[in-house]
Amino acid sequence: MKFRRLYTVLCLAVITTAVWAQPPFRPRIWGIASMTFRVSDIQRSREFYEDFLGFRKVFKLENKDSKKIRYVFKINDRQFIELIPTEKPLPERKMACVSFEVDDVKTMEKYFASQDVKILEPAGKDAGGNISLRVEGPDGHVIAFTQYLPDSRHGRIKGTYLSPHRIAPRLHHAGFSVSGPSAANAFFKDKLNFKEMWRAKPSDQAVPNYIYMQVPGCVENIEYIVNPRREDSHLCFVLPDMQAALDRLHSRKGDREIGKPFIGSGNRWLLSIRDPDGIRIEFTEPHTVR
């Protein structure tokens, strides 16, 4: 009898220890929520993103601490572009933040705390009325996580401001420069379970130029731009028809330069243009060249 009791106590102790030893749950990531860039002239930027690309400006947000204004443009109900007017000269790194959508930001914060990730802004209500968290990612990039709430500024405009003039319906990937794949993988692969999809590596180079990483839980991805000497963070949109998009851009271009489409290393049509501050805007089709 005593042996059975002792055995039961030991089993409970082992189970309890195993439970406590497990790391906190990591919430699912549903995709890219927003990309935020610094710009020098908000009026010129508005003309580019609204008139030329067709994305509606839905509101302005003011950060409580910094008092910086963010102009928010809607891509779809869950994806947004944010622009922060900044005094010249602009820093080389114009991308201020990339945010991912999650179901439970506070649980994500607990997970990051267990992984010794530096918390820049703890989980809490942000200027838009959603719950957000900011952490330090690889190479000092600010990585945010957003939990959309129905009564937030974003939630209250669900289903509206979806302009028929939008050049594209969705972000395909968020591209940002990294000094090398190791530090980036230590964050995105090891801590968040992003999976490598494809890489471009010329035969005469030891390190790849580009690495595409799938966001877990969705079809969107991020792109490491492996170049420690040049900053090239960018937005990339997915288009159903590159030629139709070219026709629309041409009809609106005015004195803007529109590059020529080309077939990239992944055998897909690509098009790159630049906004007034030189931020790269990329377009791709969802399928390989036919």
For the 170-284 domain, the top CATH level (class) is: alpha beta
Q: Dump strand ranges (E) for the chain.
A: 29-39, 56-62, 69-76, 79-85, 95-102, 119-125, 131-136, 142-147, 170-178, 195-200, 210-214, 221-226, 234-238, 262-263, 269-274, 280-284
Q: For residue 186, give the nearest of 146, 213, 220, 217 by alpha carbon.
A: 213
pLDDT score, position 17: 44
The structure tokens 């994500």 sit at: 108
- Residue 290 has a pLDDT of 79
Distance CA 111, CA 269 (A): 39
How far, rounded to the nearest angstrom, does the alpha carbon of residue 222 sit from its chain's CA centroid? 7
The answer to whether residue 74 scores a pLDDT higher than 80 is yes
Confidence of residue 188 (pLDDT cuts 50, 70, 90): very high
Q: Which amino acid is at 49?
A: Y
Query: Is the confidence at residue 4, as pLDDT, over 60?
Result: no
Query: pLDDT tens digits, residue range 136-172?
Result: 999 999 999 999 999 999 999 999 999 999 999 999 9
Domain coordinates in residue numbering, the chain: 29-157, 170-284
- What's the pLDDT tens digit per position in 191-203? 999 999 988 876 6
Residue 282 phi/psi, 5-degree rounding, is: -115, 150
The CATH label, of 3.10.180.10, 3.40.710.10, 2.40.128.20, 1.10.580.10, for the domain at 29-157 is 3.10.180.10
Share of the chain above pLDDT 90, in %: 73
Confidence class for position 18, pLDDT limits 50, 70, 90: very low
pTM: 0.89
What pLDDT score was predicted for residue 199? 87
pLDDT mean across residues, the chain: 89
Residue 20 has pLDDT above 60, yes or no: no
Residue 249: predicted pLDDT: 96
Please report the pLDDT score of residue 202 as a whole number.
Answer: 67
Q: Each residue of 104-119: pLDDT tens digit? A: 999 999 999 999 999 9
Q: What is the pLDDT of residues 231-276, one digit of tens each?
A: 889 999 999 999 999 999 999 999 998 989 999 888 899 999 999 9
- Answer whether residue 2 shows pLDDT above 60: no
